[in-house]
């Protein structure tokens, strides 16, 4: 098994040499719903760009082109697992090659939104099955028997009636590739039933793990090119300003400094300037950067403090109706007429992605081309943006993916590849730009901190009216330029079946802007919306005097959700709560997956709150690898724990002030509660698994604390030591 990157043309050349003759791929003429499966030769004839394909050589070696960047969520494993299932080969015989960034060729490669498996699993199953059928046909042809008498297993085709049971007639795939390559992909084959799966749904070990235990996995910063220099950049600390002047006299005293230049990088619709110090080692560049004296030009935008941001958001929530995302019935009327309404505000903090691998990118600009190597979640966007901004034809920009040392949404942004490209062009040499941890922690983009106002009225134990307004930076306003249009961010996380039962309902977005660059962060808006929705649901249940799980049940006419709630109740011992224990729950939806969590807490002798147990029940529909799912859930809980109880990005005078892990505290091994995980078994459409377990954690925790102490926590983060 290997992990390489090559262009498709190189790949075809290489495979011709090694004697590969059978290959089958798919392309998407329209949407993911009508993928066409076609041989690579035919695709070449018609000039069709394939999205992904498999290749089988005469040696029997199977290679799969994976068109997604690996970010730790197991895509590297899942794609081969799905194809091998229908192709009937052993996982160990499969080699994976990452394809290079190219929008036209592979469709969107943005590895965000837990989308890989969701969008492509059916196509991949069909691709594997088509190839298998062609190999069966080829074998049947060579034996002069009917295809229906043959079956495939472990990289061989067997003939059932021949020989004794122990040694049926068989042909290795490698022996069949030539004949199979002359056939047309069939239309009439049957996919396996879930019960027949040998690989999908099984907790297989990941293929990439060994590279990560001996230091051989090549992350962005591990890329080395001949003659490569290292750069560190002092960027405007106010996130979008310019350089007025700079003094680099101290910098030049450091041995190894090669260039000191003014550079710029993109920040959404504007640029940020900085001074790049280029040297012969990372450390020299970092030292040189420290020695710079820079005067900044920060005119033309506000320099905000965190307090001011929240003050304004709250004021907006009290005075503005905002845009309507969904309105039904007479929510506002009922709420303003009620004497018993609940009217509360929730606050969620700005967050930093905090990838363990600080941002970095390697670029080499030459007269006729620009090549980039980097940990990116979004190679096609990088190519597209740089092409436009630097005026280089798209075909001349090659984006190579490395392993990512964390993404969480941050590495979908094209600021850091853009900056590396700009520097390489100026110094006419290959360069690796390395962000210091301090750069990484303070330069954004960040998850926006959102405030919510929730109002509701209970009548006869049920919700009579529900009104929800969010005020905060809406990434879609930035990204689409439609600052006054409502978008789906507003309701992310909310269980849509509530729309049926809450007749008087209003969900609104109060547009709000600051100069702070913001970006997706694991589970996107569900990560903050979920806290408001599910805390408020708990407040309403308490007001109605009802059990929080029963209360949710009563408002959900949905069998799948009822099964989920039953499971939560059973596994957590919800009904057997003992004295001194607090139980809390929350259920959210994210990327077509629903997750319900129950948290149990108690108070320690020193007054602090201890999380005794977390139960997670995930309904993600059809899934590939339960162990990957468990790993992702564990990770989501840990990240949610940090965001709820440990850290936030604080701004003073327009700058993020926490520069490293000394003050931006991360959860450590000593902070982790026991986590019990249950995955619902069904054949529903596959949902995401990498992010959806994060949103319910914070509200389940604060709801548990309410259950234990009677105290409502409406502002994150809070400290478990002093509730």
State the Cα angle at 369 between 410 and 373, rounded to 5°: 30
Q: Does 211 bind another protein (CB under 8 A)?
A: yes
Minimum gap (Å) between residue 408 Cβ and another protein: 8
Taking the chain, what is the end-to-end CA distance rounded to the nearest angstrom?
Answer: 51
Backbone angles phi, psi at 464, to 5 degrees: -90, -40
Contacting range for another protein; rule: CB under 8 A; set: 104-112, 202-210, 487-495, 589-597: 202-210
Using CB under 8 A, which residues numbered 551 to 580 contact another protein?
none
Minimum gap (Å) between residue 478 Cβ and another protein: 25
Q: Does 323 bind another protein (CB under 8 A)?
A: no
Q: Does 404 bind another protein (CB under 8 A)?
A: yes
Closest alpha carbon to 25 in 47, 35, 40: 40
The nearer residue to another protein, 631 or 713, going by C-beta atoms, is 631
Minimum gap (Å) between residue 108 Cβ and another protein: 21
390 Cα distance to chain centroid: 28
Minimum gap (Å) between residue 67 Cβ and another protein: 19
Choosing from 156, 403, 551, 622, the residue that interacts with another protein (CB under 8 A) is: 403
Q: By rule CB under 8 A, what string of x and - marks binding of each residue 225-254 to another protein?
A: -----x------------------------
The nearer residue to another protein, 109 or 487, going by C-beta atoms, is 109
Q: Running DSSP on this structure, what letter comes out for residue 715?
A: B
Using CB under 8 A, which residues numbered 429 to 458 contact another protein?
434, 436-437
**Separation between Cα atoms, residue 234 and residue 241, nearest integer Å:** 12
Q: Does 627 bind another protein (CB under 8 A)?
A: yes
Q: Does 25 bind another protein (CB under 8 A)?
A: no
**Separation between Cα atoms, residue 491 and residue 325, nearest integer Å:** 8
Minimum gap (Å) between residue 255 Cβ and another protein: 6
Choosing from 255, 300, 461, 488, the residue that interacts with another protein (CB under 8 A) is: 255
Q: By rule CB under 8 A, what string of x and - marks binding of each residue 41-80 to another protein?
A: ------------------------------xxxx------
As a dihedral over the C-alpha atoms of residue 468, residue 471, residue 476, residue 481, rounded to 10 degrees, the angle is: 130
Choosing from 13, 104, 182, 212, the residue that interacts with another protein (CB under 8 A) is: 212
Q: Does 222 bind another protein (CB under 8 A)?
A: yes
Minimum gap (Å) between residue 228 Cβ and another protein: 10
Minimum gap (Å) between residue 438 Cβ and another protein: 8
Choosing from 23, 39, 251, 282, the residue that interacts with another protein (CB under 8 A) is: 282
Structure tokens at 166: 């122990």
Q: Does 676 bind another protein (CB under 8 A)?
A: no
Largest CA distance in the chain: 85
Residue 52 bridge partners (DSSP): 26
Minimum gap (Å) between residue 106 Cβ and another protein: 22
Contacting range for another protein; rule: CB under 8 A; set: 182-190, 534-542, 573-581, 666-674: 666-674
Quote helix, strand, coil % in the chain, to nearest 5: 35, 25, 40
Closest alpha carbon to 83 in 127, 120, 48: 127
Minimum gap (Å) between residue 690 Cβ and another protein: 9
The nearer residue to another protein, 561 or 689, going by C-beta atoms, is 689
Q: Does 392 bind another protein (CB under 8 A)?
A: no
Choosing from 383, 632, 645, 702, the residue that interacts with another protein (CB under 8 A) is: 632
The helix/strand count (H/E) of the chain reads as 20, 29
**Separation between Cα atoms, residue 357 and residue 408, nearest integer Å:** 12
Contacting range for another protein; rule: CB under 8 A; set: 123-131, 206-214, 339-347, 681-689: 206-214
**Separation between Cα atoms, residue 314 and residue 317, nearest integer Å:** 5
Structure tokens at 375: 């940990």
Contacting range for another protein; rule: CB under 8 A; set: 289-297, 406-414, 447-455, 494-502: 406-414
Contacting range for another protein; rule: CB under 8 A; set: 60-68, 275-283, 419-427, 493-501: 275-283
With contact defined as beta carbons under 8 Å apart, do 40 and 50 qualify? yes
Q: Does 128 bind another protein (CB under 8 A)?
A: no
Q: Running DSSP on this structure, what letter comes out for residue 664?
A: S
Choosing from 165, 339, 356, 605, the residue that interacts with another protein (CB under 8 A) is: 356
- The string of DSSP codes covering 366-392 is ETTEEEEEE--S-HHHHHHHHHHHHT-
Minimum gap (Å) between residue 350 Cβ and another protein: 17
| Inter-CA distances, 404 with 314, 385, 432, 441, Å | 38, 20, 15, 17
**Separation between Cα atoms, residue 136 and residue 154, nearest integer Å:** 13
Helices (H), 506-604: 526-544, 548-554, 559-572
Cβ neighbourhood burial of 320 (10 Å; 0-12, 13-18, 19+): middle
Minimum gap (Å) between residue 208 Cβ and another protein: 7
Residue 455 bridge partners (DSSP): 343, 467
Choosing from 140, 382, 631, 679, the residue that interacts with another protein (CB under 8 A) is: 631
| Inter-CA distances, 368 with 105, 224, 433, Å | 21, 21, 21
**Separation between Cα atoms, residue 550 and residue 329, nearest integer Å:** 24
Closest alpha carbon to 677 in 617, 600, 594, 621: 617
- The string of DSSP codes covering 160-180 is SSSS-TTS-EEEEHHHHHHHH
Using CB under 8 A, which residues numbered 633 to 652 contact another protein?
634-639
487 Cα distance to chain centroid: 20
Q: Does 216 bind another protein (CB under 8 A)?
A: yes
The nearer residue to another protein, 11 or 521, going by C-beta atoms, is 521
Q: Does 679 bind another protein (CB under 8 A)?
A: no
Q: Does 194 bind another protein (CB under 8 A)?
A: no
The nearer residue to another protein, 565 or 694, going by C-beta atoms, is 694
**Separation between Cα atoms, residue 680 and residue 692, nearest integer Å:** 14
The number of residues that bind another protein (CB under 8 A) is: 63
Q: Does 660 bind another protein (CB under 8 A)?
A: yes
Give the binding site for another protein (CB under 8 A). Answer: 71-74, 205-206, 208-219, 221-222, 224, 230, 255-256, 281-284, 286, 354-358, 403-408, 434, 436-437, 627, 631-632, 634-639, 660-662, 666-670, 672, 674-675
């Amino acid at each position: 098994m290997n992990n390489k990157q090559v262009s498709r043309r190189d790949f075809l050349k290489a495979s011709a040499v090694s004697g590969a003759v059978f290959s089958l791929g798919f392309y998407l003429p329209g949407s993911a719903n009508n993928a066409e499966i076609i041989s690579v030769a035919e695709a070449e004839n018609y000039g069709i760009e394939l999205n992904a394909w498999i290749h089988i050589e005469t040696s029997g070696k199977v290679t799969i082109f994976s068109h997604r960047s690996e970010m730790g969520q197991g895509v590297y494993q899942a794609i081969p697992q799905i194809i091998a299932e229908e192709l009937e080969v052993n996982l160990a015989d499969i080699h994976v090659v990452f394809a290079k960034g190219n929008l036209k060729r592979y469709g969107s490669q943005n590895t965000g939104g837990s989308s890989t498996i969701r969008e492509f699993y059916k196509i991949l199953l069909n691709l594997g099955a088509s190839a298998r059928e062609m190999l069966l046909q080829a074998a049947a042809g060579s034996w002069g028997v009917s295809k229906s008498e043959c079956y495939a297993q472990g990289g061989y085709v067997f003939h059932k009636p021949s020989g004794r049971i122990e040694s049926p007639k068989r042909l290795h795939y490698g022996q069949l590739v030539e004949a199979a390559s002359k056939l047309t992909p069939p239309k009439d084959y049957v996919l396996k039933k879930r019960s027949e799966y040998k690989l999908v749904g099984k907790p297989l070990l990941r293929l990439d793990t060994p590279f990560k235990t001996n230091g051989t996995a090549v992350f962005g910063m591990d890329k080395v090119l001949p003659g490569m220099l290292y750069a560190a950049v002092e960027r405007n600390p106010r996130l979008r300003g310019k350089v007025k002047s700079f003094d680099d006299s101290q910098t030049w005293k450091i041995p190894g400094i090669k260039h000191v230049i003014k550079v710029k990088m993109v920040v959404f619709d504007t640029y940020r300037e900085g001074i790049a110090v280029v040297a012969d080692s990372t450390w020299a560049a970092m030292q040189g950067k420290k020695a710079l004296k820079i005067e900044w030009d920060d005119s033309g935008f506000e320099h905000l403090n965190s307090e001011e941001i929240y003050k304004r958001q709250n004021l907006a929530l009290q005075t503005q109706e905002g845009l309507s995302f969904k309105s039904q019935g007479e929510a506002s009327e009922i709420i303003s007429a009620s004497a018993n309404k609940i009217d509360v505000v929730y606050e969620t903090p700005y967050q930093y992605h905090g990838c363990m691998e600080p941002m970095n990118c390697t670029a080499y600009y030459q007269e006729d081309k620009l090549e980039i190597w980097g940990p990116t979640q979004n190679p096609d966007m990088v190519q597209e943006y740089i092409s436009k901004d630097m005026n280089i034809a798209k075909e001349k920009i090659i984006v190579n993916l490395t392993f990512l040392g964390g993404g969480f949404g941050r590495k979908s942004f094209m600021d850091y590849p853009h900056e590396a490209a700009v520097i390489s062009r100026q110094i006419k040499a290959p360069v690796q730009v390395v962000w210091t941890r301090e750069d990484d922690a303070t330069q954004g983009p960040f998850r926006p901190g959102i405030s919510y106002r929730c109002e509701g009225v209970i009548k006869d134990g049920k919700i009579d009216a529900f009104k929800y307004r969010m005020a905060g930076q809406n990434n879609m306003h930035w990204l689409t330029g439609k600052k006054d249009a409502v978008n789906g961010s507003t309701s992310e996380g909310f269980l849509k079946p509530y729309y049926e039962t809450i007749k008087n309902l209003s969900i609104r977005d109060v547009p709000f802007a600051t100069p702070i660059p913001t970006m997706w962060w694991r589970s996107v808006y569900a990560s903050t919306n979920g806290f408001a929705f599910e805390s408020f649901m708990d407040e309403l249940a308490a007001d109605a005097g009802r059990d929080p799980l029963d209360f949710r049940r009563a408002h959900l006419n949905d069998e799948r959700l009822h099964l989920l709630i039953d499971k939560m109740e059973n596994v957590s011992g919800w009904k057997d709560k003992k004295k001194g224990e607090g139980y809390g729950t929350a259920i959210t939806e994210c990327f077509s997956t629903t997750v319900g969590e129950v948290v149990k807490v108690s108070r320690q002798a020193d007054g602090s709150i201890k999380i005794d147990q977390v139960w997670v029940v995930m309904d993600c529909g059809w899934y590939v690898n339960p162990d990957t799912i468990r790993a992702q859930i564990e990770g989501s809980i840990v990240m949610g724990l940090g965001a709820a109880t440990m850290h936030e990005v604080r701004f003073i005078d327009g700058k993020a002030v926490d520069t490293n892990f000394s003050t931006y505290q991360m959860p450590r091994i000593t902070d982790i509660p026991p986590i019990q995980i249950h995955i619902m078994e069904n054949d529903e459409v596959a949902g995401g698994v990498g992010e959806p377990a994060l949103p319910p954690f914070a509200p389940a925790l604060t709801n548990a604390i309410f259950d234990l102490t009677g105290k409502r926590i409406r502002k994150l983060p809070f400290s478990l030591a002093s509730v």
